[in-house]
């Protein structure tokens, strides 16, 4: 165990250019748009990764307290389809990793596109620098995605075994882990990715079980037949339209940025944000505005980011999740057991409108209308 006050770091980025504008305005304590978009973009591009927030100690159920910090890499995911921008973002992620190592933390989570960029560019991130180990956090994300989906199915009085599940982004790291775990546990799996050959090779390697598995080039032909949708595509912005799905479908959107356009108020399937984990206690974050903006509660965070504090509590400073396609059902069960032992649970279903069920509402938030929108 490293001898420093912080045990872990989280490396990430905000989910859109608009969010960066909001973020810098918060820092400057103004709502004025004094910088033009072009000026702000070049400012963000020039920013080296920096430690944006301190996360004060949180104690797990087994009595172990851990403390961390958040490092932002300052890139706009919506611009990543430009190759030179992607290279710039990749250089920033590397610098972010070096910064985390210099801070001397034992374990680091690589959130959102900070882990994906390495795989896309075939330049994987280091698993360890000096005494610091790096994890993508995707195994805990898989656990939270699956457990959250099961809980939604149960809350709606349905049975997972009878469901037809569509996975968008099935060959990805999270998608392949979820597929392997669900194979044999559901009636049918419809898998979608754009690289059809890779998708077929992936399916060929899956063990045969009672689950019928089919590959699809896009979602249009099968959307209306899905009971459950697990959306884990690395889309750069919200590309999928919920209105093509059955109104009774359950959509678990794990993407960051989100895969789905926000649902219209008039009916349609229910969308909840998947892969989210609830920590063992409210972590005080300084400055706090970022948590208040991004999450329904102070103890809720993406599974990928939650993996570092969990591994730190368990004193397992190791690259538990690495590369792409290495997540097995056994690893998902292992991280799930570890999470439960240290007091982590799956975050109650929520979306931008807040929690979906009033019983999940923390008493302290009861009066705040934005947290009480039962959309079911
Ligand atoms: P990967 O890069 O490993 O996989 C992405 C998958 O999406 C691939 O199968 C890719 O295949 C597919 N894909 C991309 N675009 C499309 C499309 N238009 N239609 C269908 N499939 C598509 O990503 P990860 O598994 O690491 O991450 C997935 C998402 O989850 C990202 O948005 C990431 O930021 C987010 N995330 C969320 C977390 C959370 O806790 N909620 C934690 C970590 C990540 P192909 O290219 O062949 O289409």
Least confident of 20-34, 151-165, 197-211, 323-337: 20-34
Q: What is the pLDDT of residue 266?
A: 61
With a cut of 70, say whether residue 20 has pLDDT above it: yes
Q: For residue 201, what pLDDT band results from cuts at 50, 70 and 90?
A: very high
Q: Which atom of ligand 1 is nearest to the CA of 273?
A: 41
Question: What spacing in Å lies between the alpha carbon of 373 and ligand 1's midpoint?
Answer: 28
**Residue 114 in contact with residue 189, Cβ under 8 Å?**
no
Question: What spacing in Å lies between the alpha carbon of 56 and ligand 1's midpoint?
Answer: 31
- If one residue of 119, 226, 234 were mutated to test the ligand 1 pocket, choosing by the most ligand atoms within 8 A of its CB, it would be 234
Which tokens belong to 79?
């611009």
Question: What spacing in Å lies between the alpha carbon of 193 and ligand 1's midpoint?
Answer: 9
With a cut of 60, say whether residue 374 has pLDDT above it: no
With a cut of 70, say whether residue 226 has pLDDT above it: yes
Mean pLDDT, rounded, for 346-354 = 91
Question: What spacing in Å lies between the alpha carbon of 162 and ligand 1's midpoint?
Answer: 26
**Residues forming beta bridges with residue 128, ordered by sequence position:** 133
Q: Which residue has the higher pLDDT, 38 or 282?
A: 38
Q: What is the pLDDT of residue 35?
A: 84
CA 158 to chain centre: 25
CA distance 195 to 17: 28
**Residues forming beta bridges with residue 141, ordered by sequence position:** none
Which tokens belong to 224?
């209306």
Give percent above pLDDT 70 in the chain: 93
Query: H/E element holding 134?
Result: strand 132-135
Name all residues whose Cβ lies below 6 A of ligand 1: 112-113, 115-116, 119, 138, 141, 168-175, 192-195, 198, 232-235, 239, 254-256, 275, 302-304, 324
User: pLDDT (tens digit, 9 = 90+) per residue, 75-113?
Assistant: 999 999 999 999 999 999 999 999 999 999 999 999 999
DSSP string, 280-297: SSPPPEES-HHHHHH-SS
What pTM does this model have? 0.94
Question: What spacing in Å lies between the alpha carbon of 234 and ligand 1's midpoint?
Answer: 3
Question: What spacing in Å lies between the alpha carbon of 42 and ligand 1's midpoint?
Answer: 27
- If one residue of 143, 174, 271, 277 were mutated to test the ligand 1 pocket, choosing by the most ligand atoms within 8 A of its CB, it would be 174
Least confident of 208-222, 229-243, 316-330: 229-243
Q: What is the pLDDT of residue 1?
A: 43
Secondary structure of 213-275 in the HEC alphabet?
A: EEEECCCCCCHHHCCEEEECCCCCCCCECHHHCCCCCEEEECCCCCCECCCCCCCCCEEEECC
Question: What spacing in Å lies between the alpha carbon of 233 and ligand 1's midpoint?
Answer: 3
Q: For residue 289, what pLDDT band results from cuts at 50, 70 and 90?
A: confident
Question: What spacing in Å lies between the alpha carbon of 120 and ligand 1's midpoint?
Answer: 11
Q: For residue 375, what pLDDT band results from cuts at 50, 70 and 90?
A: very low
With a cut of 90, say whether residue 25 has pLDDT above it: no
Which tokens belong to 44?
């963000």
With a cut of 60, say whether residue 263 has pLDDT above it: yes
Q: For residue 264, what pLDDT band results from cuts at 50, 70 and 90?
A: low
- If one residue of 123, 149, 233, 273 were mutated to test the ligand 1 pocket, choosing by the most ligand atoms within 8 A of its CB, it would be 233
Q: For residue 376, what pLDDT band results from cuts at 50, 70 and 90?
A: very low
Mean pLDDT, rounded, for 26-55 = 88
In 3D space, the residue among 38, 128, 59, 20 whose CA is nearest the CA of residue 309 turns out to be: 59
Q: For residue 119, what pLDDT band results from cuts at 50, 70 and 90?
A: confident
Q: Which residue has the higher pLDDT, 293 or 228?
A: 228
Mean pLDDT, rounded, for 347-364 = 82
Nearest CA to ligand 1 atom 34: 112
- If one residue of 178, 189, 193 were mutated to test the ligand 1 pocket, choosing by the most ligand atoms within 8 A of its CB, it would be 193
Least confident of 26-30, 148-152, 337-341, 369-373: 369-373
Mean predicted lDDT score pLDDT of the chain: 90
Nearest CA to ligand 1 atom 10: 169
Question: What spacing in Å lies between the alpha carbon of 68 and ligand 1's midpoint?
Answer: 26
Q: For residue 142, what pLDDT band results from cuts at 50, 70 and 90?
A: very high
């Amino acid at each position: 165990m490293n001898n420093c006050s912080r045990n872990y770091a989280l490396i990430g980025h905000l989910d859109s250019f608009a969010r960066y504008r909001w973020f810098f305005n918060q820092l400057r304590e103004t709502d004025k748009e004094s910088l033009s978009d072009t000026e702000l973009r070049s400012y963000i591009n020039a920013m080296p990764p920096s430690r944006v927030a301190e996360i004060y100690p949180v104690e797990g159920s087994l009595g172990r307290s851990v403390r961390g910090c958040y490092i932002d890499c300052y890139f706009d995911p919506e611009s990543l389809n430009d190759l030179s921008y992607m290279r710039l973002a990749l250089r920033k992620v590397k610098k972010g990793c070096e910064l985390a190592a210099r801070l001397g933390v034992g374990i680091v989570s690589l959130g959102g596109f900070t882990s994906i960029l390495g795989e896309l560019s075939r330049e994987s991130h280091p698993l360890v620098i000096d005494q610091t180990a790096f994890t993508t956090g995707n195994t805990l994300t898989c656990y939270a995605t699956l457990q959250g989906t099961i809980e939604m199915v149960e809350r709606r009085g349905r049975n997972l075994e009878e469901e037809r599940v569509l996975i968008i982004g099935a060959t990805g790291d999270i998608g392949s882990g979820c597929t392997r775990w669900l194979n044999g546990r559901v009636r049918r799996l419809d898998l979608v990715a754009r690289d059809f050959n890779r998708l077929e090779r992936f399916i060929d390697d899956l063990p045969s079980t009672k689950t019928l598995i089919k590959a699809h080039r896009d979602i249009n032909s099968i959307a209306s037949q899905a009971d459950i949708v697990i959306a884990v595509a690395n889309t750069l912005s919200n590309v999928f339209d919920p209105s093509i799905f059955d109104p009774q479908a359950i959509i678990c959107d794990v993407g960051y940025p989100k895969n789905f356009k926000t649902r219209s108020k008039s009916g349609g399937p229910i969308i909840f944000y998947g892969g989210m984990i609830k920590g063992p206690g409210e972590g005080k974050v300084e400055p706090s505005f970022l948590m208040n903006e991004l999450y329904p509660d102070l103890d809720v965070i993406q599974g990928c980011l939650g993996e570092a504090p969990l591994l730190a509590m368990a004193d397992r400073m190791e690259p538990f999740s690495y590369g792409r396609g290495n997540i097995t059902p056994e690893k998902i069960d292992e991280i799930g057991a570890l999470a439960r032992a240290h007091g982590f649970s799956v975050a109650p279903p929520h979306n931008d409108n807040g929690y979906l069920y009033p019983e999940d509402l923390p008493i302290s938030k009861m009066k705040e209308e934005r947290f009480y929108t039962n959309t079911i």
